[in-house]
C-alpha cells in the first residue's frame, strides 16, 4: 500500500513537471514572437496553471521539491550570469557595485519602510522588515533579462553583479530587523557589518577556488583531462560552491556567481577550451539555464495567493510604486553618482533606476517569515508578491524599449 501511494505521488509529480515543460516551451515561443523577456510570460503562465485558476500545478511553497528547484535553479542561473561577466568591466565599476549592494540596500529598505508605515499603517519595525525583504534585487530575474536584451556591457554587468552581491545584505538586514521585531535582541551595526563581511569574503573565496580548479581540470593544456565532462563538472561545482558556502554560513549565491566569473574568464587565467568544446559547453549551459528559469518562474506564478493580494491590494500597490519610483532612483543616484572612476552618464543611471526586478530571493524570504510566524508576515508576503508581479510584468517587459530610448542597446 505504501509503495503504491509513493508511486502515485511520483506519477503526479512527473505529470506536473511535464505540464511545466509544455507550458514553458509555449511561453518561450510567445515571448520570442512578442519580443519580451520570457520570465514575464513564464510568470503569467504559472498564474494561469496555479490553484487560483486552472489548478493543474500545485507545488506547495514549503515542499522539498519547491525548495530544491528554487535553490538549484537560482544557483545555476546565477552561475550563468557570472560566466557572462568580464573582469575588465568589473575593474571599472566595482566601487558602484559594492556601495549599491550594501549601503544601497539600507537606503531602499528605509524608504520602502516609511511608505509601508504610511500606506499600510504598520508598526515601524514591521514596516522596516517589509522594506528589508524586498530591498535586494533578484539575480534569477535580471540575469535572464540581460541574456535576452543586449545592453552595453558595463551597465548590464553592473546591475547583474549588484543583484548577485546584495542578496547577502538583504538576508542579513531582514533577519536583523526580525530579531528586533520578535524581541530577540537590539540592532547592532557592528555585528551586521561583520556578518556581511564574513559571508561575502567566504563566498568569494569558495567560489574563486572552485572556479579556478574547475577551469584548470577542464581547460588546462596538459592537465585538462575533464574537458569532455565539462557539463557534469559545472553541475557538480555549482552544487559544491553553494553547499560549501552555505555550510560555512556564508553566501551560497555569491559563491556560485564568483564560480561563474572564474569559468567565464578562463582565458584571463591562462586556460582555453577548443572551439568545439567551448561551443558544446555554452549550448549546454544555455539550455539548462532556460529550463531552470522556466521551472522557477512558472512555479512562482502558481504560488501567487490572489485572495491575500486582494486584501492588501491598494496599499501594497502604493508601497511598491514608491519602492520603484522613489526608493530605487534615490538609491542609484546616491550610490553611483559619487563614483568618479566609473563616470556614469545620466542615461546610464536612469536605466539602472528602472532595472531592479524583484523575484525568487525576496519571495523565499517572505515565505520564511510566514513559516516563522513573524509579526506582519501575511502582509509582508502579500506586498512581496505584488512587488514581484509589478516589477517583472512592468519593468522586465519595458527593459528593451527603455534601453533603446536611452541609446544603451548593443548592436
- Quick one: how far is CA 69 from the chain centroid? 13
User: Which whole number is the average pLDDT over 84-101?
Assistant: 82
- Quick check: is 99 in a domain? yes
Spatial neighbors of 237 by CB under 8 A, at least 6 apart, are: 210, 211, 214, 259
Q: Are residues 230 and 291 in the same domain?
A: yes
Q: Are residues 254 and 343 in the same domain?
A: yes
Q: Are residues 51 and 76 in the same domain?
A: no
Which among 124, 147, 143, 148 has a CA at the least distance from the CA of 74? 143
Q: Are residues 80 and 204 in the same domain?
A: yes
Q: Are residues 73 and 48 in the same domain?
A: no
What percent of the chain is modeled with pLDDT above 70?
A: 94
Q: Are residues 41 and 183 in the same domain?
A: no
Which among 95, 158, 91, 89 has a CA at the least distance from the CA of 335? 95
Per-residue pLDDT for 159 more than 90?
A: no
Per-residue pLDDT for 184 more than 60?
A: no
CA distance to 46, 220, 327, per residue, from 227 (Å): 37, 9, 46
- Quick one: how far is CA 175 from the chain centroid? 18
- Quick check: is 170 in a domain? yes
What is the residue-averaged pLDDT of the chain? 82
- Quick check: is 411 in a domain? no
User: Which whole number is the average pLDDT over 73-86?
Assistant: 79
Residue at a domain's end among 15, 41, 60 = 60
Q: Are residues 21 and 107 in the same domain?
A: no
Residue at a domain's end among 18, 34, 60 = 60
Q: Are residues 136 and 21 in the same domain?
A: no
Q: Are residues 20 and 90 in the same domain?
A: no
Q: pLDDT tens-digit profile of 200-237?
A: 788 889 888 888 888 888 877 777 677 778 788 888 88
HSE, CB side, 13 Å, CA atoms: give it for residue 134: 36
Whether this model's pTM surpasses 0.85: no
The pLDDT of residue 182 = 75
Per-residue pLDDT for 330 more than 90?
A: yes
User: Which whole number is the average pLDDT over 111-135?
Assistant: 91
- Residue 371's CB: how many other CB atoms inside 10 A? 11
**Structural domains of the chain, count:** 2
- Quick check: is 151 in a domain? yes
- Quick check: is 410 in a domain? no
List alpha helices for 182-302, DSSP H: 189-219, 230-247, 252-264, 275-302
Q: Are residues 54 and 160 in the same domain?
A: no
The pLDDT of residue 114 = 94
Per-residue pLDDT for 329 more than 90?
A: yes
- Residue with the larger pLDDT of the pair 175 and 379: 379
Contact 89, 154 (CB under 8 A): yes
Q: Are residues 98 and 239 in the same domain?
A: yes
> Phi and psi (nearest 5°) for 187?
-70, 135
Per-residue pLDDT for 11 more than 90?
A: no
* pLDDT band with cut points at 50, 70 and 90 for residue 1: very low
User: Which whole number is the average pLDDT over 181-200?
Assistant: 68
The pLDDT of residue 85 = 75
Structural domain of residue 6, as residue ranges?
Answer: 2-60
- Quick check: is 401 in a domain? yes
Q: Is 284 exposed, middle or buried (0-12, 13-18, 19+ CB in 10 A)?
A: middle
> Phi and psi (nearest 5°) for 291?
-65, -40
Q: pLDDT tens-digit profile of 38-59?
A: 777 888 888 888 877 787 888 7
Residue at a domain's end among 60, 82, 108 = 60
Per-residue pLDDT for 64 more than 90?
A: no
HEC profile of 306-329: HHHHHHCHHHHHHHHHHHHHHHHH
The pLDDT of residue 186 = 57
Spatial neighbors of 64 by CB under 8 A, at least 6 apart, are: none
Which among 329, 383, 375 has a CA at the least distance from the CA of 356? 329
User: Which whole number is the average pLDDT over 65-87?
Assistant: 79
Q: Are residues 169 and 316 in the same domain?
A: yes
- Quick check: is 294 in a domain? yes
* Cα–Cα distance for residue pair 123/116, rounded to 1 Å: 9
The pLDDT of residue 375 = 85
* pLDDT band with cut points at 50, 70 and 90 for residue 192: low
CATH code for the domain of 364 = 1.20.1530.20
The pLDDT of residue 3 = 59
- Quick check: is 11 in a domain? yes
* pLDDT band with cut points at 50, 70 and 90 for residue 189: low
User: Which whole number is the average pLDDT over 73-83?
Assistant: 80
The pLDDT of residue 320 = 94
Amino acid at each position: 500500500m505504501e509503495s503504491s501511494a509513493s508511486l502515485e505521488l511520483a506519477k503526479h509529480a512527473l505529470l506536473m513537471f511535464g505540464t511545466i515543460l509544455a507550458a514553458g516551451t509555449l511561453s518561450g515561443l510567445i515571448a520570442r514572437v512578442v519580443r519580451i523577456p520570457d520570465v514575464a510570460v513564464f510568470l503569467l503562465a504559472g498564474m494561469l496553471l496555479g490553484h487560483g485558476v486552472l489548478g493543474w500545478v500545485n507545488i506547495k511553497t514549503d515542499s522539498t521539491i519547491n525548495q530544491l528547484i528554487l535553490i538549484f535553479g537560482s544557483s545555476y542561473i546565477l552561475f550563468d550570469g557570472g560566466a557572462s561577466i568580464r573582469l575588465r568591466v568589473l575593474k571599472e565599476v566595482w566601487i558602484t557595485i559594492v556601495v549599491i549592494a550594501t549601503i544601497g540596500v539600507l537606503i531602499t529598505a528605509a524608504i520602502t519602510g516609511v511608505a509601508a508605515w504610511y500606506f499600510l499603517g504598520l508598526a515601524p519595525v514591521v514596516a522596516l522588515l517589509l522594506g528589508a525583504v524586498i530591498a535586494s534585487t533578484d539575480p534569477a530575474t535580471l540575469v535572464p533579462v540581460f541574456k535576452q536584451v543586449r545592453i552595453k556591457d558595463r551597465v548590464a554587468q553592473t546591475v547583474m553583479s549588484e543583484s548577485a552581491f546584495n542578496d547577502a545584505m538583504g538576508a542579513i538586514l531582514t533577519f536583523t530587523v526580525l530579531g528586533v521585531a520578535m524581541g530577540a535582541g537590539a540592532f547592532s551595526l557592528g555585528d551586521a557589518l561583520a556578518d556581511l563581511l564574513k559571508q561575502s569574503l567566504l563566498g568569494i573565496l569558495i567560489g574563486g577556488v572552485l572556479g579556478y580548479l574547475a577551469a584548470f581540470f577542464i581547460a588546462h593544456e596538459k592537465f585538462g583531462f575533464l574537458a569532455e565532462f565539462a557539463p557534469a563538472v559545472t553541475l557538480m561545482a555549482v552544487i559544491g560552491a553553494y553547499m560549501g558556502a552555505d555550510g560555512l554560513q556564508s553566501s551560497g549565491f555569491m559563491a556560485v556567481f564568483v564560480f561563474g566569473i572564474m569559468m567565464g574568464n578562463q582565458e584571463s587565467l591562462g586556460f582555453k577550451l577548443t572551439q568545439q568544446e567551448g561551443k558544446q559547453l555554452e549550448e549546454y549551459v544555455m539550455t539548462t539555464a532556460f529550463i531552470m528559469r522556466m521551472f522557477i518562474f512558472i512555479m512562482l506564478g502558481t504560488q501567487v495567493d490572489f485572495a491575500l493580494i486582494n486584501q492588501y491590494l491598494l496599499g501594497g500597490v502604493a508601497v511598491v510604486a514608491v519602492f520603484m519610483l522613489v526608493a530605487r532612483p534615490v538609491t542609484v543616484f546616491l550610490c553611483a553618482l559619487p563614483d568618479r572612476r566609473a563616470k556614469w552618464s545620466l542615461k546610464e543611471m536612469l536605466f539602472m533606476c528602472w532595472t531592479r526586478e524583484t523575484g525568487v530571493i525576496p519571495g523565499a524570504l517572505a515565505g520564511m517569515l510566514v513559516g516563522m510566524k513573524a509579526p506582519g508576515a501575511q502582509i509582508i508576503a502579500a506586498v512581496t508578491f505584488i512587488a514581484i508581479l509589478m516589477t517583472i510584468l512592468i519593468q522586465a517587459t519595458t527593459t528593451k524599449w527603455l534601453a533603446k530610448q536611452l541609446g544603451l542597446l548593443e548592436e
